[in-house]
Structure 1
């Protein structure tokens, strides 16, 4: 069992959550509790960097949906970065690959962000 390591930072495009280890039933509540406190503003994007994940179960998928809901409530977007193959497969199976855009790295996601105009 690999404990979940969480690192957050804020960029010009919005908050970034970096996850490493196992995102599962035991660790998902920690992320779920963190989400409402993220400093996400209207028009920004939330980047969830999954590059360090070794495991993601249904509780982890539920956390990603909760993160999407937080971003949408803030009139922002969400993108995933560094999605491991095993997680990518799960996202495809449940159809979340259609609603959670992905980038190879958090830096690529930040570079692709387009600030709102007006």
Structure 2
């Protein structure tokens, strides 16, 4: 890693059962546990639908992808969901190459992720990536 930007997490609650967690910095073996802990905490607090706003993410390795899969499983076990929003191009490529993008919906914006949660039956089957 060249940047060594620490991971910062900020949360907003656009609805009772939804949390948007904005992730800034690098998601790697050192920082992934903090992301997992905070995400699972939000789900346990009654916000089973989680959106990760990844626009400010500068780097993500396989630990970050494994963390996202773990968060998805935890959310689904509690009748929730995990969506990714505003994934930067380097992360979109990683999601595509590894197949994780097939498991976790990635939408162009946080607003579109929130609409998908609010109206899951109205969401298009295939989301276009930018």
TM-score (norm 2): 0.79
| Unpaired stretches in structure 1, ≥5 consecutive residues | none
Match of 1:5 in 2: 8
Aligned residues: 114
Q: Which has the higher strand share?
A: 1
Alignment check: 8 A CA contact 1:40 1:46 kept: no
Query: Which residue number in structure 2 is paired with residue 50 of structure 1?
Result: 54
Q: CA deviation at 1:37?
A: 1.2
Distance, in Å, in 1 between the alignment partners of 2:46 and 2:30 is 26
2:25 match: secondary structure: strand
Question: Offset at 1:14?
Answer: 0.5
Aligned to 2:33, which of 29, 33, 37? 29
In the TM superposition, residue 94 of structure 1 has moved relative to its aligned partner by 1.1
More contact order relative to length (CA 8 Å, sep ≥ 6)? 1
Runs of 4+ in 1 over 3 A off after TM superposition: none
Q: Which runs of 5+ in 2 are unaligned?
A: 121-130
Query: In the alignment, is residue 102 of structure 1 matched against residue 106 of structure 2?
Result: yes
